[in-house]
Amino acid sequence: MRDSSSLFYTKISRLLNSRQPRKLERHQEGRAAVLMPIFQKENDYFFLLTQRTHMVETHKGQISFPGGIAESDETLIRTALRETWEEIGLASERIELLGEFDEYLSVTGLIVTPFVAAIDYPFDLNPNLSEVEEILQVPLSLFEDASRLRIETRRRFDRDQPVYFYNFQGRDVWGLTAHIIRDFILLLGGGPGQ
């Protein structure tokens, strides 16, 4: 798939597959899955994120990974791949799965499972305009910079919890997406250059 980036993707795959992802015990409203697409452009690595429209049911206008609620008869990885295709037109054959990350509880009560993947750049995308306002290419290095992280405490599920915010070109990447990214960057030991 790639040459210069293969060591970084191998590192991610080894880290993810040498540990047990955190599983949540709680029985919630349902399950969801997101894809964390990573690609190399020039000498940097990027996440592919979406800014949601104001027409979607939840998380209007927020920046997130492609993903959604699992249908009753499908696996979580299948959910992540299906939703990625439906939201941004990225076909599963263009996606190299690197591993499963930890489960998270969303504010809507869903248990969300992220799957980390490598994709080739350049790529042709076809966003679903009723769901995706914009597709963003956000450098991983932004999330490695501690000065870009803001933490607020908010009450959720009857307890105080940290809420993470990163500023990207005047927009906030925050909430569950920022929490997943923060934990993933910590797992990497700071990022691709470490």
Please report the pLDDT score of residue 159 as a whole number. Answer: 86
Name the residue range of residue 78's domain: 6-140
Please report the pLDDT score of residue 61 as a whole number. Answer: 74
How many residues does the structure list for the chain?
194
Residue 59 lies in a domain: yes
Residue 84 lies in a domain: yes
Please report the pLDDT score of residue 127 as a whole number. Answer: 96
CA–centroid distance for 76 within its chain = 14
Q: Give the mean pLDDT per block of 10 residues along the chain (194 residues).
A: 73 96 81 97 95 74 93 93 97 97 92 97 94 96 92 88 94 96 92 48
Number of domains present in the structure of the chain: 1
CA–centroid distance for 41 within its chain = 18
d(CA 101, CA 36): 10
Residue 186 lies in a domain: no
Please report the pLDDT score of residue 156 as a whole number. Answer: 78
| Residue 27's CATH number | 3.90.79.10
Please report the pLDDT score of residue 4 as a whole number. Answer: 52
**Strands of 21-131, DSSP E:** 30-41, 44-52, 63-64, 67-69, 95-100, 104-105, 110-119
Token digits of residue 73: 């008869």
Residue 180 lies in a domain: no
Residue 145 lies in a domain: no
Residue 46 lies in a domain: yes
> What is the pTM assigned to this prediction?
0.92
Residue 113 lies in a domain: yes
Give the CA angle between residues 21, 109, 132 to the nearest 5°.
85
Residue 109 lies in a domain: yes
Please report the pLDDT score of residue 58 as a whole number. Answer: 64
